[in-house]
Amino acid sequence: MGTESKDIPCKILGIGSHVPSNIIDNNKLSERVDTSDEWITTRTGIKQRCFANEEEATSDLAFMAAQNALDDAKISPNDIDLIIVATITPDMAFPSTACLIQHKLGIPKVTSFDVEAACSGFLYALDIADGMLKSGRYNRALVVGAEKLSSIMDWADRTTCVLFGDGAGAVILSREGDGPRLIGFNCGADGSNPSLLHQPAGGSLMPASEKSIAARGHFLKMNGKEIFKSAVRVMEAAATDLLISHGLSAKDVDHVIPHQANARIVESLSLRLEIPLEKFFCNLDRYGNTSAASIPLALDEAKKASLFKPGQLGLMVAFGAGLTWSSVLVRF
Ligand code: UT7
């Protein structure tokens, strides 16, 4: 449930993002998959997505986003003493992608670890970083959401492979300094039906084998219809509970930065929350669903478009495999 800390809120000192340069629009995709621009656009709102090259990994995208966030915050990597990366597509099972970017940033010894909460991962990571900073044991956190979803997409499954893209977004969080304040968090999960959205092979339950490869078990699998219904329900609840626990209502919200999965999910959420669609920031038409990267990528674009005015209230809200959900309130 949502709680508002009595402590001084953590601030976002800087935001950055990065997407690979290889843009694939729906027409290009339909040369490879039995689909069409018309189907993808009307069912999802997605027009194009960016894919990383074969030699580019999630840590490369994460590193670029981190650099951009550090530049935006006007601080050096040496000012960071905590790195958290949210991802479901780490470079490898271990070590963590956070450790890999720690080395790329040249800041040895800094506490570094990954968080896996699928598309809610970035907001989970913000919640964790906020708690660690408020403990007083850390001063400045680099929080990244990064994915190379093209590495787990099944090109033989047109119901999923048209939906996803690669990218990364990052923020610098601190108790000191100026910037948008994180004022409330609400994370939750329901693990009762994991196979609604999962990557079944490659873990201890189904290690890599000829059988797992034949079953295409190393690719993402999803029950799209059920996920759609759950997404709208859990995001509505995550947002409403958080607002109520802070004595706020939908009318107080100036901007919603939702997880960028499907324009129809965003429209349904807008109706259910009774927050006008114009208040929702969407860039899924250009990037598709980038899972843990989707919210920081949207946050960065919205900030660069000078959308946020001082004093306004922002609501970030996500859902993902698990099922997981999360909402975070930010006062600009
Ligand atoms: O971050 C969380 C990740 N997941 C999501 O957010 C996904 C949530 N779910 C969705 O966004 C939607 O369920 C989808 C976009 C995945 C699918 O939309 P839908 O309206 O639920 O379509 P459907 O699965 O019911 O399929 C409708 C038809 C089927 O044909 P028939 O059986 O009606 O003849 C599919 O075979 O569309 C067909 N279809 C396609 N046609 C062209 C499915 N995928 C495609 C495709 N191109 N890519």
Distance 257 CA to ligand 1 centre (A): 24
On whether both 163 and 190 belong to a single domain, the answer is: no
What are φ and ψ of residue 243, in 5° steps?
-60, -45
Q: Which among 228, 264, 282, 294 is the best mutation to test ligand 1's pocket, defined by most ligand atoms within 8 Å of the CB? A: 228
On whether both 234 and 323 belong to a single domain, the answer is: yes
144 Cβ closer than 6 Å to some ligand 1 atom = no
Q: The domain containing residue 266 runs over which residues?
A: 183-331
Among 144, 159, 179, where does a domain finish? 179
On whether both 9 and 154 belong to a single domain, the answer is: yes
On whether both 175 and 235 belong to a single domain, the answer is: no
CATH of the domain at 154: 3.40.47.10
On whether both 72 and 133 belong to a single domain, the answer is: yes
Residue located nearest, by CA, to atom 38 of ligand 1: 159
On whether both 313 and 168 belong to a single domain, the answer is: no
On whether both 191 and 173 belong to a single domain, the answer is: no
158 Cβ closer than 6 Å to some ligand 1 atom = yes
**18 carries an active-site annotation:** no
- Give the nearest ligand 1 atom to 159 CA: 44
Task: Mark the ranges of the chain whose per-residue pLDDT is less than 50.
Answer: 1-4
pLDDT at 6: 54
The H or E element containing residue 13 is strand 11-18
Domain count, the chain: 2
On whether both 95 and 115 belong to a single domain, the answer is: yes
The H or E element containing residue 97 is helix 97-105
The string over 147-172, giving b where at least 16 C-beta atoms fall within 10 Å of a residue's C-beta and e elsewhere, is: bbbbbbbbeeebebbbbbbbbbbbbb
On whether both 157 and 213 belong to a single domain, the answer is: no
Which listed residue (186, 198, 259, 262) is catalytic? 259
What are φ and ψ of residue 252, in 5° steps?
-80, -10
pLDDT digits (tens, 9 = 90+) for 20-44: 999 999 999 999 999 999 999 999 9
pLDDT at 182: 98
**246 carries an active-site annotation:** no
**193 carries an active-site annotation:** no
Distance 197 CA to ligand 1 centre (A): 14
Among 179, 212, 243, where does a domain finish? 179
Distance 92 CA to ligand 1 centre (A): 30
224 Cβ closer than 6 Å to some ligand 1 atom = yes
Among 179, 200, 228, where does a domain finish? 179
d(CA 181, CA 166): 28
On whether both 70 and 90 belong to a single domain, the answer is: yes
Distance 39 CA to ligand 1 centre (A): 9
On whether both 160 and 219 belong to a single domain, the answer is: no
Residue 178 in contact with residue 215, Cβ under 8 Å? no
On whether both 10 and 144 belong to a single domain, the answer is: yes
